[in-house]
């Protein structure tokens, strides 16, 4: 009898302990969730990314891998030189004095999601357009920041383009935005891949490559910077200014994107076709794919040494008598940086100039390319460009435009009026060469000056590291 009572007490006590333990665990979990809940779009992307990678790697499918901040991502002031008799404890104390930026949980989650998506490389609409897309068909890469209204215009123009079902459309982002992701998700007319620049200001808001609180103010003198002891005091640009992260990011993104697309996107391994580079505030003509095919054929037949195909310049020239004409000339960053189509051979020459590109003191990627054409590349760039543009710049505000209000619909109306009035000039049957380089050739064009903004050695080293990152 006593044994039964004792046994009953033990069971009751065990149940009470388990219930209390569960209540305590649930309470602690709730507090944790309340303090660091994730944005819904990030959580959805994380779940989607994990589920899509089950067949790729079991170690990746179980959780999002958060990459450690790269060693080149931070350049703190060096500690005092260690003496021979320094103890391990003294060194540890010195190390603890170096300020470290705090990273909130959401930022770490964003980094993890970006890492996972870049690893998974899930292609949307792959099965839907598998028959339409052949090996080495055109790849269109869009560099995207945070202007969804302009991106909508670009997507709308792509939707109207003949033959668009055959392309692979890659969006390369440096900003995570539910609104932008919604625009990308609306693309139902071709295969789509999203990639994300993993060293953006958004992902590193309080440390390099973002703005570290210990960075030097832009306009401080080098003498005052050295006295202040800020991180990059030794590295102002050619004009004595210190880096601004928001301006440095675009050049970083452009170079990373170029390398990642050609050498890290698995579906493009061995790709021998063209890669067309455009941006979120561009607008394409309905026959841009048709024209690129004609230009590519003409290049093979008559201009094998042509490095770049360009869909046009910034001047909105009427199409009358121009729609089927191209010119072959030296490449200029101010005229031919929009709608550039590159081959793998051209890319490989560019990557061979990584050090020169990454150390040239100009925060503009296109002016840095201009410098390469006269300083590093085997020969100056030759470009075949359409006289009547098939790509238009719709952006009337952004990094280089200081308008109080953006008016994308106004720009759209202007461009569509040009295209509608020239509708019968589109889709030419063949191309005429309106201007070509003289037989003796013409020299390359050197940049008229450096624009600065790229003197920080941390930018140089991060930029050069992309070819080594797997």
pLDDT one-digit tens code per residue, 49-98: 544 443 433 333 333 333 343 333 333 333 333 333 444 454 344 334 44
Provide the pLDDT for residue 64: 33
The helix (run of H) or strand (run of E) holding residue 368 is helix 365-375
- Give the whole-angstrom CA distance, residue 63 versus residue 329: 52
Report the range out of 58-62, 159-163, 310-314 with the highest average pLDDT. 159-163
Whether 39 shows a pLDDT value over 80: the answer reads no
Whether 115 shows a pLDDT value over 60: the answer reads yes
Of the pLDDT bands very low, low, confident and very high (cuts 50, 70, 90), residue 27 is very low
Provide the pLDDT for residue 54: 38
pLDDT one-digit tens code per residue, 328-338: 999 999 899 99
User: Average pLDDT for residues 147-152, to the nearest whole number?
Assistant: 96
- Give the whole-angstrom CA distance, residue 236 versus residue 352: 26
Whether 5 shows a pLDDT value over 60: the answer reads no
Provide the pLDDT for residue 112: 95
**Residue 170: beta bridge partners?**
141, 193
Whether 427 shows a pLDDT value over 60: the answer reads yes
Question: Which range, of 288-302, 358-372, 378-392, 403-417, averages the lowest pLDDT?
Answer: 403-417
For 162, residues 6+ apart whose C-beta sits below 8 A from its C-beta are 286, 287, 289, 290, 427
Q: In degrees rounded to 5, what are phi and psi of residue 147?
A: -125, 75
User: Average pLDDT for residues 209-226, to the nearest whole number?
Assistant: 96
pTM comes to 0.81
Q: Which of 326, 339, 319, 327 is nearest to 426 (CA)?
A: 319
Whether 322 shows a pLDDT value over 80: the answer reads yes
CA 257 centroid distance within chain = 5
Whether 204 shows a pLDDT value over 90: the answer reads yes
From its phi and psi, is residue 312 left (phi > 0), alpha (psi between -120 and 50) or beta? Answer: left
What is the DSSP code string of 287-346?
A: THHHHHHHHHHHHHHH-TT--EEE---SS----TTTTTEEEEEE--HHHH-SSEEE-HHH
Provide the pLDDT for residue 403: 53
Question: Which range, of 29-43, 125-139, 199-213, 329-343, averages the lowest pLDDT?
Answer: 29-43
Whether 13 shows a pLDDT value over 80: the answer reads no
Of residues 247 and 440, the one with the higher pLDDT is 247
Percent pLDDT > 70 in the chain is: 73
Of residues 91 and 207, the one with the higher pLDDT is 207
From the CB of residue 81, how many other CB atoms can be counted at a distance below 10 Å?
6
Q: For all residues of the chain together, what is the average pLDDT?
A: 82
From its phi and psi, is residue 447 left (phi > 0), alpha (psi between -120 and 50) or beta? Answer: beta
User: Average pLDDT for residues 346-363, to the nearest whole number?
Assistant: 97
Whether 195 shows a pLDDT value over 90: the answer reads yes
Q: What is the dihedral of CA 129, 130, 136, 142, to 10 degrees?
A: 40
Whether 221 shows a pLDDT value over 80: the answer reads yes
Percent pLDDT > 90 in the chain is: 63
Whether 439 shows a pLDDT value over 50: the answer reads yes
Whether 162 shows a pLDDT value over 60: the answer reads yes
Question: Which range, of 237-251, 261-275, 380-394, 429-443, averages the lowest pLDDT?
Answer: 429-443
Whether the CB-CB separation of 236 and 225 falls below 8 Å is answered with yes
Of residues 30 and 406, the one with the higher pLDDT is 406
Of the pLDDT bands very low, low, confident and very high (cuts 50, 70, 90), residue 339 is very high
């Amino acid at each position: 009898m006593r044994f039964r009572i004792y046994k009953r007490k033990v069971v009751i006590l065990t149940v009470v302990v388990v219930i209390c333990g569960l209540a305590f665990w649930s309470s602690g979990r709730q507090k944790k969730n309340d303090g660091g809940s994730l944005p819904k779009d990030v959580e959805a992307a994380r779940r989607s990314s994990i589920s899509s990678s089950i067949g790729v790697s079991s170690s990746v499918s179980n959780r999002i891998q958060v990459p450690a901040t790269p060693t080149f991502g931070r350049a703190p002031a060096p500690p005092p030189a260690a003496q021979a008799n320094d103890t391990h404890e003294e060194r540890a104390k010195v190390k603890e004095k170096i300020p470290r930026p705090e990273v909130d949980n959401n930022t770490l989650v964003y980094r993890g999601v970006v890492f996972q998506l870049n690893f998974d490389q899930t292609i949307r609409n792959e099965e839907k357009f598998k028959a339409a897309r052949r090996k080495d068909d055109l790849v269109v890469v869009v560099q995207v920041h945070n202007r969804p209204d302009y991106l909508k215009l670009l997507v709308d123009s792509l939707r109207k383009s003949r033959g668009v079902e055959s392309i692979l459309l890659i969006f390369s982002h440096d900003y995570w935005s539910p609104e932008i992701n919604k625009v990308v998700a609306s693309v139902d007319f071709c295969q789509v891949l999203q990639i994300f620049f993993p060293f953006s200001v958004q992902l590193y808001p309080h440390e390099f490559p973002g703005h570290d609180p210990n960075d030097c103010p832009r306009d401080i003198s080098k003498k005052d910077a050295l006295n202040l002891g800020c991180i990059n005091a030794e590295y102002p640009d050619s004009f004595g200014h210190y880096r601004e992260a928001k301006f440095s990011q675009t050049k970083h993104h452009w170079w990373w994107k170029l390398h990642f697309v050609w050498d890290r996107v698995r579906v493009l391994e061995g790709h021998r076709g063209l890669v067309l580079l455009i941006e979120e505030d561009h607008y394409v003509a309905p026959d841009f794919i048709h024209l690129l095919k004609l230009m590519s054929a003409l290049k093979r037949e008559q201009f094998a040494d042509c490095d770049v195909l360009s869909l046009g310049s910034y001047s909105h020239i009427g199409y009358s008598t121009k729609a089927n004409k191209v010119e072959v000339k030296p490449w200029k960053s101010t005229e031919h940086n929009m709608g550039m189509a590159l081959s793998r051979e051209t890319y490989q020459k560019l990557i061979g100039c990584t050090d020169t590109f990454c150390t040239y003191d100009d925060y503009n990627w296109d002016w840095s390319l201009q410098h390469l054409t006269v300083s590093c590349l085997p020969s100056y760039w030759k470009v075949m460009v359409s006289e009547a543009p098939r790509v238009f710049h719709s952006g009337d505000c952004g990094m280089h435009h200081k308008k109080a209000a953006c008016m994308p619909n106004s720009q759209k109306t202007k461009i569509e009026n040009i295209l509608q009035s020239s509708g019968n000039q589109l889709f030419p049957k063949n191309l005429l060469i309106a201007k070509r380089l003289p037989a003796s050739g013409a020299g390359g064009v050197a940049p008229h000056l450096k624009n600065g903004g790229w003197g920080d050695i941390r930018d140089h080293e991060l930029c050069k590291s992309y070819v080594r990152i797997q």
